[in-house]
Amino acid sequence: MEKVFYFSDNDQCDLWDKMWTSRTVDQELEACEIESPPRDLFVTYIPKGGKIIDGGCGFGKWVVYLHRRGYDILGIDSNDLAISELRQFDPTLQVERGEILATGYPDHSFDAYISMGVVEHFEDGPQAPLKEAYRILKPGGLIFVSVPTVNILRQVIRRPLRNAIKRSLTLPSFLNHVAKRHCPLRPDSSDRPVADSRKTSCRKFAEYRYTKSELEAFLQQAGFTIIQTVPHDFYGSRDHAVGLVLDFPFLGVRGASNFRLNLFGKIISSTLNRVSPWVACSSVLCVARAKKP
């Protein structure tokens, strides 16, 4: 498990407002076409007539994607900006402002629960949102959970490099500039801000990165039986890779959306994926079933 922070010069800075003002619904929908792991699992496992909830839907790309394909899906999110943008994009969508820790829905309300990059943002751990998901799922209901992972590259390259930087008494000015420039949308895991100590910078918790076994253990503790666990990244395209561009920005096309790779990045990505898709994947995605009488 790895704890990740982001930095802000403004103590009132909201990570999610900054996230959603930097993205559009259309950009999110473009990602559905290249984000094959969740897309394929949804189509494989979710019953067409079932009731689905996307807890922490954000701009609701999967709400839109599945709604357009005839699924009965509801999206909830606590961010007013994201819900407002989604309603303007398509007024026919079922979306509402809500808290995933207390959805307000009765027990056994849904056949499937989608959680893409949400439960890792609770500093106390994912147990509370998983418990609520379990409560509102029907007996045998499915949950799809994706969280950032501690992949091999992060273990053998990023972490040692970060620790080496932390051991330095002072940082070159260009590294301070890079650390500032990539915040808060590109958080880094650290015990303290990677920034000039002479400057005041607010450090806030962003997320955890979990291993495959850690995510499966959390789900099992919440009452779920694991069905399948897969590496999660933009594997539907050779031109995009979330994990590589997040961890090594020089492999991406500057200013491009959806983590587009440059030529060198494409070569690296293709080579690593031939070894194993787990090497550089950004996240781990697990499908599990609620064990209920």
The domain containing residue 108 runs over which residues? 13-151+207-236+277-290
Q: What is the mean pLDDT of each run of 10 residues along the chain (293 residues)?
A: 74 60 85 95 94 96 96 96 93 96 98 97 96 98 97 86 59 45 44 40 83 98 98 96 95 94 97 96 98 91
pLDDT for position 220: 98
- Is residue 260 domain-resident? no
Q: How many folded domains does the chain comprise?
A: 1
- Is residue 114 domain-resident? yes
pLDDT for position 144: 98
Q: How far is it, in rounded angstroms, from Cα 263 to Cα 271?
A: 12
CATH of the domain at 223: 3.40.50.150
Q: Is 251 helix (H, G, I), strand (E, B) or coil?
A: helix
- Is residue 60 domain-resident? yes
- Is residue 244 domain-resident? no
The shares of helix, strand and coil residues in the chain, as percent rounded to the nearest 5, are 40, 25, 35
- Is residue 196 domain-resident? no
Tell me phi and psi for residue 126, to 5 degrees: -85, 0
pLDDT for position 157: 86
pLDDT for position 46: 95
- Is residue 66 domain-resident? yes
Instruction: Strands of 56-164 (E only): list them.
Output: 72-77, 94-97, 110-116, 137-148
- Is residue 49 domain-resident? yes
- Is residue 191 domain-resident? no
